[in-house]
């Protein structure tokens, strides 16, 4: 299996009753025989700013940097720091997802952001989401997730409270017509 869901967004369906994923949009980074890995992009961590996270690892933001919210990327490795971002993609630990979006998890990108340098579009995440081999495919077959190509604008620039509705709209779906009950033909 190659990486069919990498570069795709997972959109949580109403039947998904896990509080980690209510109205979640997940940017998928890896999907292979070893399992799947992605980042929830629209779940802000209440009361935690980028500056708080930066200071906790000994990086001190300059000027007015660091006041944006931090997001919960998922229930796995909740202490792991991930940056979902647009160009440039030349960081030490940078995983390109598409030609316009990547995921980095090295100190150099955090230092650059603290200095007001680095990617213009980004979201700082704590934690990530993971699925064991076959688990994600089963959840998709059970109508837990919809799959749609990643849009850097939607994932990095749009206000998070509009992200879920926007991805559904890109798919031609109106949220009020979704049901927690579903089937397959």
pLDDT grade for 181, boundaries at 50, 70 and 90: low
Q: Which letter, b or e, does each residue of 151-171 get, where b requires 16 or more Cβ atoms within 10 Å of its Cβ? A: bbebbbebebeebbbbbbeee
Mean pLDDT computed over 2-23: 86
Say if CB 101 and CB 87 are below 8 A apart. no
pLDDT tens digit sequence for 93-143? 999 999 999 999 999 999 999 998 889 999 999 999 999 999 999 999 998
Distance separating alpha carbons of residues 129 and 102, to the nearest angstrom: 16
Going by CATH, does the domain composed of 8-177 fall within 3.60.20.10?
A: no
Give the pair of three-digit tokens for residue 17: 């009753």
This prediction has a pTM of: 0.90
């Amino acid at each position: 299996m190659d990486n069919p869901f990498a570069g795709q967004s997972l959109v949580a369906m109403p039947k998904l009753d896990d509080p980690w994923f209510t109205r979640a949009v997940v940017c998928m980074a890896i999907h292979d025989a070893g399992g799947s890995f992605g980042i929830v992009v629209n779940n802000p961590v209440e009361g935690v700013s980028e500056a708080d996270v930066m200071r906790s690892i000994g990086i001190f933001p300059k000027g007015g940097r660091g006041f944006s919210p931090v997001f919960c990327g998922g229930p796995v490795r909740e202490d792991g720091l991930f940056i979902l971002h647009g160009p440039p993609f030349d960081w030490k630990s940078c995983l390109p997802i598409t030609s316009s979006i990547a995921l980095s998890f090295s100190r150099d990108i955090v230092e650059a952001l603290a200095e007001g340098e680095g990617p213009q579009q980004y979201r700082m995440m704590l934690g990530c989401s993971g699925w064991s081999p076959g688990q994600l495919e089963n959840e998709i077959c059970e109508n837990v997730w919809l799959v749609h190509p990643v849009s850097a604008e939607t994932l990095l620039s749009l206000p998070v409270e509009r992200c879920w509705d926007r991805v559904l709209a890109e798919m031609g779906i109106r949220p009020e017509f979704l049901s927690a009950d579903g089937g397959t033909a």
